[in-house]
């Protein structure tokens, strides 16, 4: 008898089917990976197991956990299970914790509710479990509030709550998606250790094939609410019998063809050599301070230096990655270059003109040469404007304002450039999918024919297959139009796929830079080594899986 058995689970919201005939089993001590793109029904499967579905959803089929029929269980029976025998770790550690309660109280809550132990004993157990997830009381008193902890520490608290009562089954729904790669590796290690110690089953839900491969013994791949492939992790990924499995695996390791083609690379190299004389962008000794917290009415703490004496050059048509952990100053540097948030000191030269100290009016002709693509395809468009108006927004920078007809022509051309039809012009952003919106975002950046595009995590919010398409688009535009890129990312696969050079940032400084493959294969500095070691890599993970099996 398996620990968890799901047989023929169907779920619909109203009349709309969400899950179709899902089958899944987890044995005690087994780590089961559940992979799929957004909307494939991963989270709905997890919520069905926990019976946390909202009123309009109806589930049919059979879910048995530990010989209990979950779909037939009463709310009281489920309450006894949730948090006791089944623990759950959520994606967003900030919203999964109650901001007005201390971390100690939140961990103890579940213990007291399920075991009826005294307050003192619950506190004692809380102390032990927090120590176990790496938050020893000496350094992290239980009286801390969630906002006093970093993202990774908060996720440890969430894990402490979920594993406090040594559940037989732990469900982790994208537990590391909101964290950077180094924290991701730490949290995954912790999860692995905990389930190994307690011999509990783990259902690990993720969109990242590499993470799941690294962690899980068995894997289930879902698409559009159906299980398409299932089995032992190494088997499934080595054989790749199902076309969708192959598609997912290839998309995760995707490198745009233009960047593999030696001829294209040679042309690019030649172009760089040719342009040796002119630098497109020169960043010299840029620092950015933020005022410290107020410590009194008139006194402030020492200013916080987000970017510390950073210098680098960029040639026309070159593509550079800026990698580093979250909070290392990548985005601050990008804003300084874009003149959105002027640096405290240093020079930012675009085509040999220092733009760091210019006012808005003087900046106008220079802004035309550089544009920006943001991470969040939902937040980067004003929801109340049409696509035509949004994409033509940078045309404001033109010395001569185009006529309405000219503007429509230019928008149409920009849309064609990113592979969207002309009739997209009259729609609103909410009518597009995440990947299409990122294309719109690129179209907006292209409309002034810039020489430089700064892309702040442009693909990290996208599904792997869409991410592959967008990376292809970036490579193609670089090849065809000679646009230079600064890619800000924490994802080394993206850096590898698309950039010539990589710069590693750590605590506001650039600690290492060089040719992408060189730095990523043979990192020299400690921060770079940590990043490379922590980065999930599908090829490496599969190899390790095969090695373990002997």
Partner 1 sequence: MSEAARRPDSIVYMAFTNRSFVIGFAITLFITLMALLSFVWTPYDVTVLPVANRLKPPSPEHWLGTDHFGRDVLSMIMVGARNSIAVALVAVGIGMLIGVPLGCWAAARGGWIDEILMRFNDLVFAFPALLSAIMITAIFGPGAINAIIAIGIFNIPIFARVARAGAVSLWPREFILAARASGKGQALITVEHILPNIASLLLVQATIQFAIAVLAEASLAYLGLGAQPPMPSWGRMLFDAQTRMIVSPTLAIFPGLAIVITVLGLNLLGDGLADVLDPKLRRER
Q: Is 363 in the site for partner 1 (CB under 8 A)?
A: yes
Helical H segments across 447-535, by residue range: 464-481, 492-498, 516-521, 526-534
Q: Which residue do the tokens 């970093």 mark?
A: 150
Within 389-418, which residues bind partner 1 (CB under 8 A)?
A: 390, 393-397
Segment interacting with partner 1, rule: CB under 8 A, options 23-31, 244-252, 379-387, 472-480: 379-387
| CA 202 vs CA 10, 93, 183, 271: distances in Å | 22, 19, 19, 52
**Which lies closer to partner 1 via its Cβ, residue 305 or residue 385?**
385
- Cβ burial of 142 (10 Å; 0-12, 13-18, 19+) is middle
Segment interacting with partner 1, rule: CB under 8 A, options 63-71, 155-163, 236-244, 332-340: 332-340
CB 2 to partner 1: min, Å: 37
**Which lies closer to partner 1 via its Cβ, residue 243 or residue 292?**
292
82: β partners: 86
**Which lies closer to partner 1 via its Cβ, residue 64 or residue 380?**
380
**Which lies closer to partner 1 via its Cβ, residue 160 or residue 447?**
447
The DSSP call for residue 258 is G
**How far apart (Å, rounded) are the C-alpha atoms in residues 288 and 276?**
29
CB 372 to partner 1: min, Å: 5
**Which lies closer to partner 1 via its Cβ, residue 155 or residue 392?**
392
**How far apart (Å, rounded) are the C-alpha atoms in residues 221 and 243?**
12
Segment interacting with partner 1, rule: CB under 8 A, options 24-32, 150-158, 221-229, 364-372: 364-372
Structural contact between residues 319 and 452, judged by C-beta atoms closer than 8 angstroms: no
CB 205 to partner 1: min, Å: 23
CB 159 to partner 1: min, Å: 29
**Which lies closer to partner 1 via its Cβ, residue 207 or residue 444?**
444
Radius of gyration of the chain (CA): 26
Q: Is 371 in the site for partner 1 (CB under 8 A)?
A: yes
Q: Give all strands of the β-sheet with 345-350 in edge-to-edge order.
A: 304-314, 281-290, 345-350, 353-354
CA angle 443, 444, 445 (to 5 degrees): 90
Segment interacting with partner 1, rule: CB under 8 A, options 11-19, 73-81, 190-198, 377-385: 377-385
**How far apart (Å, rounded) are the C-alpha atoms in residues 258 and 268?**
10
Structural contact between residues 147 and 140, judged by C-beta atoms closer than 8 angstroms: no
Residue whose C-alpha is closest to residue 356's, from 368, 367, 340, 342: 342
**How far apart (Å, rounded) are the C-alpha atoms in residues 129 and 136?**
9
- Given phi > 0 = left and psi -120 to 50 = alpha, else beta, which region is 120? alpha
Segment interacting with partner 1, rule: CB under 8 A, options 4-12, 161-169, 276-284, 367-375: 367-375
Structure tokens, 472: 């292809």
> How many residues of this chain interact with partner 1, rule: CB under 8 A?
29
Structure tokens, 444: 């907006």
Q: Is 364 in the site for partner 1 (CB under 8 A)?
A: yes
One residue of 136, 243, 291, 379 binding partner 1 per CB under 8 A: 379
Q: Which residue do the tokens 């089953």 mark?
A: 201
Segment interacting with partner 1, rule: CB under 8 A, options 107-115, 146-154, 232-240, 359-367: 359-367
**How far apart (Å, rounded) are the C-alpha atoms in residues 494 and 457?**
9
One residue of 67, 76, 293, 360 binding partner 1 per CB under 8 A: 360
Segment interacting with partner 1, rule: CB under 8 A, options 150-158, 263-271, 373-381, 492-500: 373-381
One residue of 65, 140, 381, 474 binding partner 1 per CB under 8 A: 381
**How far apart (Å, rounded) are the C-alpha atoms in residues 152 and 138?**
18
Three-state DSSP class for 271? helix
CB 265 to partner 1: min, Å: 30
**Which lies closer to partner 1 via its Cβ, residue 7 or residue 382?**
382
One residue of 261, 382, 426, 518 binding partner 1 per CB under 8 A: 382
Q: How far is CA 464 from the centre of its chain?
A: 11
**How far apart (Å, rounded) are the C-alpha atoms in residues 243 and 255?**
19
Q: CA 512, 376, 414, 419 torsion: positive or negative?
A: positive
Q: Is 340 in the site for partner 1 (CB under 8 A)?
A: yes
CB 430 to partner 1: min, Å: 11
One residue of 65, 374, 432, 487 binding partner 1 per CB under 8 A: 374
**Which lies closer to partner 1 via its Cβ, residue 132 or residue 288?**
288
Total number of residues shown for the chain: 550
Residue 379 C-beta-side C-alpha neighbours within 13 Å: 5
**Which lies closer to partner 1 via its Cβ, residue 34 or residue 447?**
447
Q: Is 362 in the site for partner 1 (CB under 8 A)?
A: no
CB 302 to partner 1: min, Å: 20
Site string for partner 1, 438-457 (x = CB under 8 A): ---x--x-------------
One residue of 220, 380, 412, 493 binding partner 1 per CB under 8 A: 380
Footprint of partner 1 (CB under 8 A): 335, 338, 340, 360, 363-364, 367-368, 370-372, 374-376, 379-385, 390, 393-397, 441, 444
């Amino acid at each position: 008898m398996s620990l968890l058995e799901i047989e023929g689970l169907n779920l619909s919201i109203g009349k709309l089917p969400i899950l179709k005939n899902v089958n899944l089993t987890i044995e005690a001590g087994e780590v089961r990976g559940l992979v799929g793109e957004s909307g494939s029904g991963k989270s709905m499967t997890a919520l069905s197991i926990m019976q946390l579905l909202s009123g309009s959803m109806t589930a049919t089929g059979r879910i048995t956990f530990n010989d209990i029929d979950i779909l037939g269980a009463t709310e009281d029976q489920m309450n006894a299970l949730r948090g006791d025998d089944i623990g759950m770790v959520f994606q967003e550690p900030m919203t999964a914790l109650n901001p007005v309660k201390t971390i100690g109280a939140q961990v103890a809550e579940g213990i007291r509710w399920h075991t009826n132990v005294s307050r003192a004993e619950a506190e004692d157990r809380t102390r032990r479990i927090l120590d176990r997830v790496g938050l020893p009381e000496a350094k992290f008193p239980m009286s801390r509030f969630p906002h006093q902890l970093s993202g990774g520490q908060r996720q440890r608290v969430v894990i402490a709550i979920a594993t406090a009562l040594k559940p037989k089954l732990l469900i982790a729904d994208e537990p590391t998606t909101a964290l950077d790669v180094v924290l991701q590796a730490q949290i995954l290690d912790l999860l692995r250790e905990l389930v190994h110690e307690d011999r509990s089953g783990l259902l690990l839900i993720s969109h990242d094939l590499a993470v799941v491969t690294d962690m899980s013994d068995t894997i289930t791949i879902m698409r559009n609410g159906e299980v398409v492939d299932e089995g032992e992790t190494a088997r499934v990924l080595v054989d790749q019998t199902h076309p969708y499995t192959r598609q997912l695996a290839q998309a995760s390791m995707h490198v745009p063809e233009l960047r593999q083609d030696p001829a294209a690379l040679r042309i690019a190299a030649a172009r760089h050599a040719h342009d040796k004389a002119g630098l497109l962008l020169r960043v010299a000794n840029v620092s950015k301070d933020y005022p410290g917290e107020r410590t009194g009415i008139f006194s402030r703490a020492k200013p916080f230096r987000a970017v510390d004496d950073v210098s680098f050059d960029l040639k026309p048509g070159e593509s550079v990655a800026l990698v580093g952990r979250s909070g290392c100053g990548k985005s601050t540097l990008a804003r300084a270059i874009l003149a959105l948030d002027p640096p405290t000191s240093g020079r930012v030269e675009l085509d040999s003109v220092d733009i760091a100290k210019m006012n808005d009016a003087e900046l106008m002709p220079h802004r035309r040469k550089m544009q920006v693509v943001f991470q969040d395809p939902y937040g980067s468009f004003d929801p109340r404007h049409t696509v035509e108006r949004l994409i033509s927004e940078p045309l404001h920078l033109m010395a001569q304002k185009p006529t309405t007809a000219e503007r429509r022509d230019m928008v149409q051309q920009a849309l064609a450039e990113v592979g969207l039809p002309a009739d997209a012009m009259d729609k609103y952003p909410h009518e597009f999918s995440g990947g299409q919106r990122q294309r719109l975002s690129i179209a907006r950046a292209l409309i002034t024919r810039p020489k430089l595009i700064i892309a702040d995590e442009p693909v990290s919010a996208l599904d792997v297959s869409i991410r592959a398409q967008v990376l292809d688009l970036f490579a193609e535009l670089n090849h065809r139009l000679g646009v230079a890129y600064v890619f800000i990312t924490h994802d080394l696969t993206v850096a590898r796929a698309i950039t010539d050079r990589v710069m590693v940032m750590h605590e506001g400084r650039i600690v290492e830079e060089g040719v992408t493959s060189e730095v990523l294969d043979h990192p020299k500095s400690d921060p770079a080594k940590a990043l490379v070691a922590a980065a999930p890599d599908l090829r490496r993970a599969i190899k390790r899986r095969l090695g373990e099996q002997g």
